[in-house]
Amino acid sequence: MAKRVLPKDGKTHFITGVWLSWTAIAIVGYARHYFESTNPFGWPIGSWPDLLSWLGCFYYPWAVVTPSIFRLEEWSPLNSGASKRRLGMVVVASLICSYVTWLMGTLVSFGVNYLFGRPAPPFGPFWHISRVGLCFEEFAFWCTFSAACAIRHFIQFHRQARQATQLALEKSQLEASLRQAELENLRMRLNPHFLFNTLQNISVLTQQNPKLASQMLVRLGDLLRSALRGKVAADTTVSEEMNLVRDYLAVEQMRFGDRLTILVDVAPGSGDARIPSFLLQPLAENAIIHGLRGMSQASTIVIRTMTDGDRLVLTVADNGVGVPVEWPGESDVGIGLSSTRQRLSRIFPGDHQFVIRKLDEGGTEVRIVIPYRQRDQLCEENVPSDQLASVDR
């Protein structure tokens, strides 16, 4: 086992704690000795020589050797996998500690007698220790050894708990950083194809219809100001998301003129619901592209939000040609819709619906059902490093 070195302040606190602990145990033991009126040292009960003999003979020698016992327990812990050799080493160490503490107590007793002018009792051989004395010293050793084991496991448990908390905090901070990076990436990629196409159309309109070109530039500026404003939150309200979508749709309507009709229906009670940021804009853009593809007649895009009990329902529909007959299903939806579906799976695992279906009257509808959440119930997203929203199905 690796040697654990305590800092200087830690050693001081440890030694202080050891002496205070043994002092408290000694005071409790002396109180019992006082009330039981036993007199093992020959001094008057309650006198200073009696108290000093009690402390010095029975308890303070163990305060001296306790740090060594803690170090022994750290080096040779008696866990479930402890070997017989390790157990034997600890037993031998217990006998040595018992003899050392007994000897120290005997010397302290001689010192107290000498200090207060009493002749020292006859002292036998150094190796002589009574059976009762040995049992007491062994009991004190194993109690101290067990306390060392309990304290070491307590410290390890709290250290592991702190490490787990620190790792969880670092993971949370990393996920928050990745989440913000994803949102920033998504914001900066707010359909560059749309931006390039719009600028190209504006370039053409400056020659044919300068007034309309100027209006498109104003709308485009509003859209970019909304999309590229300061730090983006992980979630937003339906109303705030609709403001971004309306700025985007206003530019698209200028692009396509009478060929495109936009209908937005935010049902009462759904405007304050929270949804992931930039959830609807890629869906609206996707619907416009496919709603206008191959269409000679006017195209209509319908965006609805409503509540259904504790659920929030979001739909984006177009009257285009719809998904092809040979379409294999949601596994082949392209980067834009697949990224949206993956985001919903991370934020609402097992608690959402994402359905793409062909309408009976023609066209395609994307339907999202998520829990209805208010401002104090933020959307938490676990972010991987996948590619973010685009507009292709």
Residue 80 pLDDT grade (very low, low, confident, very high; cuts 50, 70, 90): low
Residue 186 pLDDT grade (very low, low, confident, very high; cuts 50, 70, 90): low
Q: Which residues, listed in sequence order, are joined to residue 266 by a DSSP beta bridge? A: 305
Mean pLDDT across 213-232: 72
Q: Is the model more confident about 192 or about 314? A: 314
Q: Is the model more confident about 313 or about 182? A: 313
CA distance 59 to 26: 6
Report the pLDDT value the prediction gives residue 38, as an integer from 0 to 100.
62
Residues 247 and 130 in one domain: no
Report the pLDDT value the prediction gives residue 221, as an integer from 0 to 100.
80
Domain end marker among 102, 137, 170:
170
Residues 115 and 151 in one domain: yes
Among 217-226, 362-371, 383-392, whose mean pLDDT is lowest? 383-392
Residues 264 and 127 in one domain: no
Report the pLDDT value the prediction gives residue 35, as an integer from 0 to 100.
66
pLDDT > 90? residue 314: yes
Residues 197 and 103 in one domain: no
Residues 158 and 271 in one domain: no
CATH of the domain at 216: 3.30.565.10
Q: What percent of the chain has pLDDT over 90?
A: 10
Residues 154 and 214 in one domain: no
Residues 163 and 201 in one domain: no
* 381 inside domain: no
Range of the domain at 87: 8-170
* 184 inside domain: no
For 172-234, give the DSSP string: HHHHHHHHHHHHHHHHHTS-HHHHHHHHHHHHHHHHH-HHHHHHHHHHHHHHHHHHTSSPPPS
Residues 145 and 286 in one domain: no
* 20 inside domain: yes
Q: Could you give the number of structural domains in the chain?
A: 2
Report the pLDDT value the prediction gives residue 3, as an integer from 0 to 100.
46
Report the pLDDT value the prediction gives residue 265, as an integer from 0 to 100.
92
pLDDT in tens, 27-64: 777 776 666 666 555 555 556 667 777 677 777 788 88
Residues 69 and 217 in one domain: no
pLDDT > 90? residue 304: yes
Contacts of 320 (CB under 8 A, 6+ apart): 287, 290, 291, 292, 293, 294, 295, 299, 362, 363, 364
* 376 inside domain: no
Mean pLDDT across 356-384: 75
CA distance 153 to 195: 62
Among 79-83, 177-181, 342-346, whose mean pLDDT is lowest? 79-83
Tell me, what amino acid is at 297?
Answer: Q
* 266 inside domain: yes
* 335 inside domain: yes
pLDDT > 70? residue 101: yes
Per-chain mean pLDDT for the chain: 76
Report the pLDDT value the prediction gives residue 1, as an integer from 0 to 100.
46
Among 187-191, 342-346, 358-362, 367-371, whose mean pLDDT is lowest? 187-191
Residue 382 pLDDT grade (very low, low, confident, very high; cuts 50, 70, 90): very low
Residues 297 and 343 in one domain: yes
Residue 148 pLDDT grade (very low, low, confident, very high; cuts 50, 70, 90): confident
Token pair of 244, please? 């971004």
pLDDT > 60? residue 133: yes
Report the pLDDT value the prediction gives residue 391, as an integer from 0 to 100.
36
Report the pLDDT value the prediction gives residue 89, as an integer from 0 to 100.
86
* 238 inside domain: yes
Mean pLDDT across 74-84: 70
* 387 inside domain: no
Residues 130 and 53 in one domain: yes
CA distance 282 to 354: 14
Residue 306 pLDDT grade (very low, low, confident, very high; cuts 50, 70, 90): very high
pLDDT in tens, 245-290: 888 888 878 777 788 888 999 999 899 999 988 888 888 888 887 7
Residues 87 and 208 in one domain: no
Q: Is the model more confident about 21 or about 36? A: 21
- Please tell me whether residue 48 adopts helix, strand or coil conformation: helix
Report the pLDDT value the prediction gives residue 79, as an integer from 0 to 100.
66
Number of neighbours of residue 280 by Cβ within 10 angstroms: 24
